Chains A and B, each alone.
Chain A
């Protein structure tokens, strides 16, 4: 766990769950698996607050508990997961993807599940129906069955999965912080089992859910709160108690990866080729394991049949496109056989490596200029080169080439390899070769990305803090306006209240809003880079196993 990773996780935890959870979470990240008493002592937080924090973390899958290392009698240990906490950064992307694939209903389902961590199907459906009803016209409301349909579709395509069932509570000793509604990792074995290892992972339970979303009117505020409380303790059952659902992040990641590959093909070749690759990826969605280096082999006949209907290209033309894809130096698609008109695979690992490489080149280009980028690409191609060879191939004068190489070297983007000719390593009799190692460089850039996101978050918090007084004032004024409007005040009164904010203050608020938006979207943009680099690193780790 690097310092940057811990810092970023701390910021994310603080923003989403508050200071106490942040303290507990960061402590666990820094110190590995710990049992409850140790956490209480070392963080100086009261026991019940620690319990509640662990509750929250486990609810969101950011923390797992398992029996102690010292044997069956030792206290339960808790371990925080850095990867899971980092996913918080990607929530907007998940929600947006759900919206594009399954509309507003899908978007709200994913949003609710991300916010709550784990939920039953029935409570999700009810909440989402209520929210959708709120946005609809008077007199309309959302059917539960419609929402359930979308939910089932999400499960079918594996975007949602069941949380792994919890082991018998009796085995876990004293410090389990939460009553039975919290699912978690099985308490017995130390190897973490994935949700996929449970047979019913993607089975939608039979749920009796009949009804429509309820609209909450603002006049029924007081009633509402009582209703809400009552709803929580509602004894109404729907047949799916104890079955909790969570968002399947891996599935979303596969979707993002496919999107990246398709857009790369579209950029390099053309729209039709990218549609063919999209078809191939869609066909292998369920047959290809997530860590595979390439998809299952698909025959050209199958691809032809599965093309979208509005793409009426003839069979020989399809063959031409496939041949071109195979011949392309980027090697997105490979040919694995000749039966069935030609068997083709999508080279996932190769595509990720190319995308990561393009990312590295992009960073060097933007940061150091196109000539340094030329040297960088040259070294990536030729692996090892001497100083003189770099100058000759890149056609850059010696002095400038030397300068650029040394700059890249000092930033650790380029490494120097010594090959001595004599055993005494005398400098005059040693070859000095420049080289670029893609994997370590990608790792280093990933850490830079983490630091960058943390910087952006801190700047955003700083900007908000600076203008705290102004924000509070504007909020108060908005509240006054709202209540005046509700009680039917005169327009002059309204304008009088509005003018309590002076024009320069309005401008300041406007620029603050602009800053915050920019910082927010920048976080998402850097997260895209993080995704590409992480996928590449993970894919290389499994490919070389």
Chain B
């Protein structure tokens, strides 16, 4: 009976240790704390706790790790069989990126019907949830219930419920441009030396990010990377140009020792001559020839344009 008491005591002891170190304990820690416990008894105790579902077995670079299992989920999982536990484990491992049902099948080697049953079960127990991926609208990925889905799945700040928020992007686009434009104008009006003028017309991506955050037009939190994607679209609109400068590590807004600077620019030419004429914009340009149904002589676009 002394043996049984030792066992109970060591079980409780190990459980206490685990609670002390929520991130997990190694064999070495147990040994240091309970030097009188023989390795064999230790192994038995740990196995007992594992089978009871009160401990989690993990592996890290140093070796095996034992962690206190979340009692809530532990109680919920009590009713489940090993298969469910396996599937749950796989989903947990996928973290906040989620995992596709076909991949669960590969990893667990269980037949599809089984998987589906288990997934339905787990969902009803509110242990996992399905999130629609923005990449393929029919694809569903599963992840733990209380996890925040990763950006690659939801599409990040630009998607709300699978819909790309074009208006939101447009508004941000215009606001960023206005900010940069007014900064450039202020620099021009300052009438200082040209170098100073040019440098003060630049804004770092960090400055723009702060301005947008302070404006408060965004319901979701935007990161500096998000703002940089918006600024890039302004570059593709031909309204803004960017340079990169070296910045000291630790300067606000610097990433990997460099900062991106943006400033508003003007177009280098006025709209070209060809587009001031109806033919330059005509949708049936290729069908037009003299003597045909569509010809310069009977062109209605020209007639309208001439009378303007």
B28-45 with Cβ < 8 A to chain A: none
**CB-defined contacts of A359 to chain B, threshold 8 Å:** 269, 272, 274
**B164 interface hit (Cβ, 8 Å):** yes
Give the 4 A-B CB pairs with smallest separation, nearest first: A525-B273, A366-B275, A452-B279, A455-B296
**A181 interface hit (Cβ, 8 Å):** no
B111 to chain A, nearest CB (A): 28
**CB-defined contacts of A525 to chain B, threshold 8 Å:** 273-274, 276-277
Assess whether B297 is in contact with A458, with CB atoms less than 8 Å apart.
yes
**CB-defined contacts of A270 to chain B, threshold 8 Å:** 188, 194
**B124 interface hit (Cβ, 8 Å):** no
Apart from the given pairs A323-B195, A448-B274, 6 other A-B contacts in the complex at a CB distance below 8 Å: A321-B194, A354-B268, A362-B269, A365-B271, A455-B288, A526-B274
A510-532 with Cβ < 8 A to chain B: 511, 514-515, 518-519, 522, 524-529, 532
Interface string of B211-243 (1 = CB under 8 A from A): 000000000000000000110110111100101
**CB-defined contacts of A201 to chain B, threshold 8 Å:** none
B104-134 with Cβ < 8 A to chain A: none
Q: With A515-B306, A528-B272 in contact, do A374 and B277 touch (Cβ < 8 Å)?
A: no
B92 to chain A, nearest CB (A): 30
Assess whether A377 is in contact with B237, with CB atoms less than 8 Å apart.
yes
B22 to chain A, nearest CB (A): 40
**A451 interface hit (Cβ, 8 Å):** yes
**B193 interface hit (Cβ, 8 Å):** yes
Q: How far is the CA of A529 from the CA of B273 in the complex (A)?
A: 6
Chain B CB within 10 A, most for which of A321, A354, A459, A524 = A459
Interface string of A434-469 (1 = CB under 8 A from B): 000000000001001101100110110010000000
Assess whether B267 is in contact with A374, with CB atoms less than 8 Å apart.
no
Assess whether A320 is in contact with B195, with CB atoms less than 8 Å apart.
yes
**CB-defined contacts of A456 to chain B, threshold 8 Å:** 277, 279, 296
Q: With A445-B274, A456-B277, A525-B277 in contact, do A358 and B236 touch (Cβ < 8 Å)?
A: no
**B166 interface hit (Cβ, 8 Å):** yes
Assess whether B271 is in contact with A366, with CB atoms less than 8 Å apart.
yes
**B198 interface hit (Cβ, 8 Å):** yes
Q: With A456-B296, A532-B272 in contact, do A363 and B237 touch (Cβ < 8 Å)?
A: no
**B77 interface hit (Cβ, 8 Å):** no
**CB-defined contacts of B267 to chain A, threshold 8 Å:** 267, 358
Q: How far is the CA of A317 from the CA of B307 in the complex (A)?
A: 51
Q: How far is the CA of A519 from the CA of B305 in the complex (A)?
A: 10
**A483 interface hit (Cβ, 8 Å):** no
Q: How far is the CA of A203 from the CA of B136 in the complex (A)?
A: 76
**CB-defined contacts of A524 to chain B, threshold 8 Å:** 273
Chain B CB within 10 A, most for which of A317, A375, A525 = A525
B94 to chain A, nearest CB (A): 23
Q: How far is the CA of A426 from the CA of B306 in the complex (A)?
A: 52
Assess whether A462 is in contact with B268, with CB atoms less than 8 Å apart.
no
Assess whether A395 is in contact with B233, with CB atoms less than 8 Å apart.
yes
Q: How far is the CA of A377 from the CA of B237 in the complex (A)?
A: 7
- The A contact surface, by secondary structure, is helix
Interface string of A378-417 (1 = CB under 8 A from B): 1001000000000001111110000000000000000000
A372 to chain B, nearest CB (A): 11
Assess whether B195 is in contact with A452, with CB atoms less than 8 Å apart.
no
B253 to chain A, nearest CB (A): 21
Assess whether A458 is in contact with B281, with CB atoms less than 8 Å apart.
no
Chain A interface residue bracket vs B: 35 or more
B42-61 with Cβ < 8 A to chain A: none
Q: With A264-B269, A268-B268, A459-B302 in contact, do A452 and B164 touch (Cβ < 8 Å)?
A: no
* Chain B interface residue count, Cβ-Cβ cutoff 8 angstroms: 46
**B169 interface hit (Cβ, 8 Å):** yes
A390 to chain B, nearest CB (A): 10
B296 to chain A, nearest CB (A): 4
Q: How far is the CA of A494 from the CA of B274 in the complex (A)?
A: 45
**CB-defined contacts of B233 to chain A, threshold 8 Å:** 374, 393-395
Residue of B nearest to A7 (CB): B290
Assess whether A324 is in contact with B276, with CB atoms less than 8 Å apart.
no
**CB-defined contacts of B188 to chain A, threshold 8 Å:** 270
- Which listed residue (B158, B194, B305) contacts A317, Cβ 8 A? B194
B91 to chain A, nearest CB (A): 27
Q: With A355-B268, A374-B233 in contact, do A361 and B193 touch (Cβ < 8 Å)?
A: no
- Which listed residue (B158, B272, B279, B296) contacts A462, Cβ 8 A? B296
Q: With A264-B269, A358-B269, A397-B166 in contact, do A462 and B297 touch (Cβ < 8 Å)?
A: yes
Q: List 26 interface pairs A-B (beta carbons < 8 Å), by A numbering.
A: A268-B266, A268-B268, A270-B188, A317-B193, A317-B194, A358-B267, A358-B268, A358-B272, A362-B271, A366-B281, A367-B281, A377-B238, A378-B236, A393-B232, A395-B173, A396-B166, A398-B164, A449-B274, A455-B299, A455-B302, A518-B306, A522-B273, A522-B277, A524-B273, A528-B272, A529-B272
**CB-defined contacts of B194 to chain A, threshold 8 Å:** 270, 272-273, 317, 320-321, 324
Assess whether A511 is in contact with B276, with CB atoms less than 8 Å apart.
no
Chain A CB within 10 A, most for which of B236, B274, B280 = B274
Residue of A nearest to B274 (CB): A529
**CB-defined contacts of A363 to chain B, threshold 8 Å:** 272, 274-275, 280
B256-301 with Cβ < 8 A to chain A: 265-269, 271-277, 279-281, 285, 288, 290, 295-297, 299
A8 to chain B, nearest CB (A): 12
Assess whether B268 is in contact with A330, with CB atoms less than 8 Å apart.
yes
A4-42 with Cβ < 8 A to chain B: none
A145-186 with Cβ < 8 A to chain B: none
**A370 interface hit (Cβ, 8 Å):** yes
**CB-defined contacts of A397 to chain B, threshold 8 Å:** 164, 166
Q: How far is the CA of A373 from the CA of B275 in the complex (A)?
A: 14
Q: How far is the CA of A462 from the CA of B297 in the complex (A)?
A: 6
Chain A CB within 10 A, most for which of B237, B269, B295 = B269
A323 to chain B, nearest CB (A): 7
Q: How far is the CA of A290 from the CA of B117 in the complex (A)?
A: 79
**CB-defined contacts of A324 to chain B, threshold 8 Å:** 194-195, 198
B75 to chain A, nearest CB (A): 44
**A329 interface hit (Cβ, 8 Å):** yes
Q: How far is the CA of A451 from the CA of B279 in the complex (A)?
A: 9
